[in-house]
Amino acid sequence: MTSEEARRRPPTAQQFVLAELRRAITTGRLRPGAPIRQDALAEELQVSRVPLREALKTLQGEGLVSYQAHRGYFVETLSLADLREVYRIRELLEEEAVRKAVARLTDADLDRLEETQRDVEDAAARGDVLAMATANRLFHMTLFECAGMPRLTRLIRTLWDSTDAYRSMYYGEGGNRERVVKEHRATLEALRRRAADEAVATLDAHRAHAVAELESLLAGD
């Protein structure tokens, strides 16, 4: 059986619930700190509690929800210190990923990145915040996957997703969307020249700016 065939199979209830939960947390429909009532959620999603609980275990492993025995699951709340830690760890891991990626980058990889960047720019131009977040994530993950280190990429992706609930605030600002587009162009340009140090530097700046923005946004709470 090919993976194509596997993907064509109807998703299990658990996969469906997992996707729904991610979206609910990302979009803020389930707010940080809120308890997750299994009965209500299961009924809303028209599944039993069994697949729901397995999906929650997955999310617990990814740090999107916390869990206490006999008390249940809660949407994880990230303090400013938590956010800084996540971004610092990403900095360490992404530097490695970019350096390895630059060392192996093919022209086909660059083409794929260009294509994704066009999607980012389209979404930015339309002011479509959700599409912007999706395309931006794809751009970065496409780059990191070029490193050929699947575990490293997976860790980065998990860290990335763990701050989704906060990232949407960032893209709300039109100025930030424009900035992201420019920074991506700078990164792409460095990648074309195989200038690893520059590529790392642009991504570090990218991240640092996001942290600074989040700090001022969260301070206003």
Specify whether the CB–CB gap between 65 and 54 falls below 8 A: no
Specify whether the CB–CB gap between 33 and 75 falls below 8 A: yes
Q: Is 49 an interacting residue with respect to DNA (CB under 7 A)? A: yes
User: Which pairs with CB-CB distance under 8 Å and at least 24 residues apart come from 131-135?
Assistant: 132/171, 132/177, 132/180, 133/164, 133/167, 133/168, 133/171
Considering only 110, 155, 195, 217, the residue that binds its own copies (CB under 8 A) is: 155
**What number of helices (H) and strands (E) belong to the chain?**
11, 3
According to DSSP, residue 47 is labeled S
Q: Which stretch binds DNA (CB under 7 A): 69-77, 83-91, 146-154, 191-199?
A: 69-77
Give SS3 for 73.
strand
Give min distance, CB of 37 to its own copies, in A: 18
DSSP H or E run through 66: strand 65-68
Q: Is 79 an interacting residue with respect to its own copies (CB under 8 A)? A: no
Give min distance, CB of 85 to its own copies, in A: 5
Contact pattern from residue 51 through residue 70 relative to its own copies, giving x for each residue in contact according to CB under 8 A and a dash for the rest: --xx--xx-xxxx----xxx
Q: Is 65 an interacting residue with respect to DNA (CB under 7 A)? A: no
Q: For the sheet containing 65-68, what is the strand order?
A: 35-36, 72-75, 65-68
Considering only 8, 79, 106, 150, the residue that binds its own copies (CB under 8 A) is: 150
Q: Is 192 an interacting residue with respect to its own copies (CB under 8 A)? A: no
Q: How many CA atoms within 13 Å lie on the side-chain side of 67?
A: 14
- Residues of this chain, 4-33, that bind DNA according to CB under 7 A: 9-10, 12-14
Q: Which of its own copies, DNA, none does residue 13 bind to, with CB < 5 to 8 Å depending on kind?
A: DNA
Q: Which stretch binds its own copies (CB under 8 A): 23-31, 78-86, 130-138, 173-181?
A: 78-86
Q: Given the rule CB under 7 A, which residues bind DNA?
A: 1, 9-10, 12-14, 35-39, 46-51, 53-54, 69-73
